[in-house]
Amino acid sequence: MGQKSLIYAFVSRGTVVLAEYTEFSGNFNTIAFQCLQKLPSSNNKFTYNCDSHTFNFLVDNGFTYCVVADETAGRQVPIAFLERVKDDFVSKYGASDKAGANAAANSLNKEFGPKLKEHMQYCIDHPEEISKLAKVQNQVSEVKGVMMENIEKVHTDALRAVIYGHCPRWCVGLWRYSCYC
């Protein structure tokens, strides 16, 4: 791999590390594990900075995906890496009836460790593609947020109209209430 932008990665269920990968030596795995123990269990993304490294976490449905990166890697590449790893892991091990739900500590290293390496290498080799993808995903998230706000406003306005008896024809059928416009 050579380049030191993505340094260490793991997948855990709770605080049990199921698979990990690195080509480098250092105390980043110890620091990452300490961070893991302090993470909230809610689905979210977290980044901590320490000694010119970022410790990036993605918590989703009881599993935690982590990558330690050099600060120069920015935030987009590590987060894109975590999303790729999550999608791959969930497709293979994520459901409650699959291996990830009952796997012992480090028991998926042989199978999933090489996948972590593969995803690291892809993200290191294609940062421009990762940046473009992240930009599009952010734009989609923004549009989704605006659409949700607009839908909420329409529903609120229609509810007010029904309550105050000023219901326009377009809101007929939006609510279970009868509209007597």
Give the pair of three-digit tokens for residue 121.
Answer: 């290498």
| Residues 175, 8: Cα–Cα separation, whole Å | 52
Burial of 126 (0-12, 13-18, 19+ CB in 10 A): middle
Q: What is the three-state SS of the chain?
A: CCCCCEEEEEEEECCEEEEEEECCCCCHHHHHHHHHHHCCCCCEEEEEEECCEEEEEEEECCEEEEEEEEHHHCCHHHHHHHHHHHHHHHHHHHCCCCHHHCCCCCCCHHHHHHHHHHHHHHHHHCHHHHHHHHHHHHHHHHHHHHHHHHHHHHHHHHHHHHHHCCCCHHHCCCCCCCCCC
pLDDT of residue 114: 95
Domains recognised in the chain with CATH numbers: 6-164 (3.30.450.50)
Token match 């290498």: residue?
Answer: 121
Q: Give pLDDT tens digits along the chain (181 positions).
A: 445 789 999 999 999 999 999 999 989 899 999 999 999 888 889 999 988 999 999 999 889 999 999 998 888 889 989 999 999 999 988 766 677 778 888 899 999 999 999 999 998 888 777 766 666 666 777 788 888 888 887 777 766 666 666 665 555 555 555 554 4
